[in-house]
A = this chain, B = another copy of it.
Amino acid sequence: MNQNYIKPDNWSIIEEGFDVESVKSSESLFSIGNGAMGQRANFEETYTGESFQGSYIAGIYYPDKTKVGWWKNGYPKYFAKVLNAPNWIGIDVEINDENLDLKTCTEVNNFRRELNMKEGWYNRSFDATLQNGTEISVTIRRFLSLDLDEVGVINYEITPVNKDAKIVFKPYIDAGIHNEDTNWDEKFWETLEVKRTGNEGFVTAQTLKTNFKATTFMQNNIFIDGKNGNISPSNIKTGTDKIQFSFDVIIAQGQKTSIQKIGGYTVSLNHNDTLNAAETVIKTALAKGYDQMLAEQSDAWAKIWEMSDITIDGDVKAQQGIRFNIFQLNQTYLGKDSRLNIGPKGFTGEKYGGSTYWDTEAYCIPFYMATKDQQVARNLLTYRYNQLDKAIENAEKNLGFTNGAALYPMVTMNGEECHNEWEITHEEIHRNGAIAFAIYNYYRFTGDYSYIPEKGLEVLIGIARFWHQRANFSKEKNQFVILGVTGPNEYENNVNNNFYTNFIAKWCIDYTFEQIQKVALEYPSDHKRIVEKVKLSDAELQDWKKVSGNMYFPKSEKLGIYLQQDGFLDKELVLVKDLDKSQRPINQKWSWDRILRSPYIKQADVLQCFYFFEDHFSKEELQRNFEFYEAFTVHESSLSPCVHSIQAAKLDKMDMAYTFYLRTSRLDLDDYNKEVEEGCHITSMAGTWMSIVEGFGGMRVKDNTLHFSPKIPKEWTGYTFKINFRNQILKVIVNHTKTQFELEGTKNMTLFVNGESVLVNANLLTNA
């Protein structure tokens, strides 16, 4: 594809000019979503060029039979796939009896896409000359309503430019879709009913095995020069999986005609009678009408931006990058539904399967905590609590653990593991640590301890038990070790004593131990209930402490660094800067064994440990470890650059911090890893947010108080961000000379800037 083809703009993502090579990438970048459903930016009309069709409904998945070359015990039998859902956006268009297809038009000019992030809509426009010589001008707008989140709207408008034209709009719904990544070429949906009522069409289909039911619906109105033509379909075709209407319009050169298509899904997750629900929601949408729905969309996004916008002055690409990240996060997950989670590709692709990774706890929760009501983060924690039994079952049945030890899945949709590489599924166990850390982090940020006695402590105990059993005593070292793991740096597999994993294991046990003591003191009835439920004894607790108190951590005294794992220094330590550029990205150029034995790091997990547990290390230790590991990090994980940006800022390496900021914020827009056509990297976008708030802003929460140490890249003139801290909305305004604060409401707040206490008065601009 044509990299760097996105035009810089403060509020919009813009593509100009039609390039067949960029279609699949743009389909990812211009995706739209509303938390409940989403779509890639596929064309409504026929397109016979290369395209990756995708429409997705939150929470609807399919357990595709596992495909592996060599079966290993403990693999999940089924792999939960994000499911391509029936297509409701399709509108075939005939112009003077020729089917419109940008691949076959003799000319396409003024092609332009715009994803307007401020108002939440996607536009596409172009002028085209068909093979029959008809020239047309086309403008399409599409949005998925935030308010009516089962509904999307398309306004598809055509003007014949050089002659009169007979235009046939043929909107359809098609449930005969497939997943690009199906393992066995099976169909995932079975159509139950195809129905038409007037201008409305319905296809009710059910997923095989999981039996999710979804009615996909459409309602169509034809307008001529902006007025409803009250045109009835001239033809209706219904097939096994499809319904298609034809609307004929004959208009003069220069006249406009448009079809307004309302469409979407009503699903059995929310309704018993999905067909009835579809009929109802169409009525609601029609009652509002297109203009009102568009206005409401703009208002709803304004509210989101009001709380979560980050402004950057003097650097349009940086501004566009952060807004794209915040926009996509909000398109993916709005926190309304505790059954849902944040898939790594959101609604922009189907790669990876599942919807929940450790990304949620390690990267996304801080963003949602600070930019939404704290209930949203609590919902994300509750999601794991609800899956605790399955995590215990996973550890027991698949991996041989006992006594209620819980291993959360690496990837999941419903609590069951759905990944099947042994080096990931069975060995990337650090994910358990992030889930415990998120509980700690939630309390640290929100001050809401109630989650722990109510739910969190059971999760912590399951996790602590896992680590206690997973470590073993090495007589050789006279310490506890953790063998055979894959750390967050997935460019190492089956290593011994991954520093990050050992550290978080010890931390989880210690933290759980402390919370048990605290709950015993402060919530004695919860303590009693839980201890009885999980059969926890003092003797067991003492056993835990033996492990956490004598954990081994690999280090080099000579270099003053912790070692990523045992033996790291045996590698051929050629720095990334000395590596031939033609060899990168190494994951596309090198065989796996070569990557594994190289010193190159996908994501530096020693530094991830320093990020999570900053207060356990000195700044000098950070500096030594950062300088050592940064030099070997290739950042081929989307989760990598943000942490480096934050730490570079802390270490006053501002040029580096800025470079990493651009890399994280424009990872997809500039397609750093050459894979955006598969979808956007949604979860790492929360890392971009952190790189401004925690990196440049230096925000930390210590002892129930906000701390800042603001810095600003030389490329910027200023930046602002907002934080919802314990139901107080604080705006932070930074430029090269000063930092200012604005606080909504009536209650003052004391915070710290570079270690100095500052009293911020409510509704008064305060200089730090």
Interface residues of chain A, those whose CB is within 8 Å of chain B, are 66-70, 72-74, 79, 398-400, 420-422, 426-427, 472-477, 481, 483-484, 493-497, 566-567, 569-573, 587-594, 596-597
Contacts and interface: CB of A to CB of B under 8 A. Distances in A.
Nearest to A492: B494
B592 A74 contact: yes
B494 A570 contact: no
A74 to B, nearest CB: 3
Contacts of A494: 493-495, 593, 596
A570 B481 contact: yes
Contacts of A426: 591-594
A591 B67 contact: no
30 contacts: A67-B69, A68-B68, A68-B69, A69-B421, A70-B420, A73-B589, A73-B591, A74-B591, A74-B593, A400-B591, A422-B593, A426-B591, A426-B592, A426-B593, A427-B593, A472-B570, A472-B571, A472-B597, A474-B569, A474-B570, A474-B571, A475-B569, A475-B573, A476-B569, A477-B570, A493-B493, A494-B495, A496-B567, A497-B570, A566-B566
A571 B483 CA distance: 8
A569 B493 CA distance: 19
Contacts of A427: 593
Nearest to A481: B570
Given A68-B68, A569-B475, A422 B594 contact: no
B472 A572 contact: yes
A397 to B, nearest CB: 10
B73 A398 contact: no
A226 to B, nearest CB: 52
A458 to B, nearest CB: 24
A79 B70 CA distance: 12
A593 B417 CA distance: 15
Contact of A566 (B484, B567, B588, B596): B567
Contacts of A596: 484, 494
A589 B397 CA distance: 10
Given A69-B69, A399-B594, A494-B495, 18 more contacts: A67-B68, A68-B69, A69-B420, A70-B420, A74-B591, A74-B592, A74-B593, A399-B593, A472-B572, A474-B571, A476-B569, A483-B570, A484-B593, A484-B596, A494-B494, A494-B593, A566-B567, A566-B570
Contacts of A497: 570
A411 to B, nearest CB: 12
B588 A73 contact: yes
A487 to B, nearest CB: 13
Contacts of A496: 567, 570
Contacts of A591: 72-74, 398-400, 422, 426
A422 B472 CA distance: 27
A421 B423 CA distance: 11
A722 to B, nearest CB: 41
B592 A73 contact: yes
A399 B400 CA distance: 36
A477 to B, nearest CB: 6
Given A426-B592, A427-B593, A567-B567, A572 B473 contact: yes
Nearest to A476: B569
Contacts of A589: 73
Contacts of A421: 69-70
A467 to B, nearest CB: 14
A496 B565 CA distance: 12
List the 10 closest A-B pairs by CB distance, nearest first.
A74-B591, A484-B597, A426-B593, A476-B569, A472-B572, A474-B570, A483-B597, A72-B592, A68-B69, A422-B592
Contacts of A572: 472-473
Contacts of A566: 566-567, 570
Of A399, A590, A593, A596, most buried by chain B (CB within 10 Å of CB) is: A593
Nearest to A574: B472
A354 to B, nearest CB: 13
Nearest to A422: B592
B476 A570 contact: yes
A541 B494 CA distance: 35
Given A483-B567, A483-B570, A494-B493, A590 B66 contact: no
A427 B494 CA distance: 13
A483 B570 CA distance: 8
A67 B69 CA distance: 5
A597 B570 CA distance: 21
Nearest to A588: B73
A398 to B, nearest CB: 6
A588 to B, nearest CB: 7
A594 B74 CA distance: 10
Nearest to A479: B570
Contact of A594 (B400, B420, B474, B571): B400
A662 B210 CA distance: 51
Contacts of A573: 475
Nearest to A570: B474
Contacts of A73: 587-592
Nearest to A496: B567
A472 B493 CA distance: 19
Contacts of A69: 66-69, 79, 420-421
Contact of A400 (B484, B570, B571, B590): B590
A431 to B, nearest CB: 14
Contacts of A72: 591-592
A378 B570 CA distance: 40
Contacts of A588: 73
Contacts of A569: 474-476
Contacts of A481: 570
Contacts of A567: 483, 496, 566-567
Nearest to A589: B73
A67 B184 CA distance: 11
Contacts of A477: 570
A463 to B, nearest CB: 17
Contacts of A475: 569, 573
A573 B473 CA distance: 9
Contacts of A79: 69
Of A79, A421, A495, A597, most buried by chain B (CB within 10 Å of CB) is: A597
A514 to B, nearest CB: 28
A222 to B, nearest CB: 47
Nearest to A429: B593
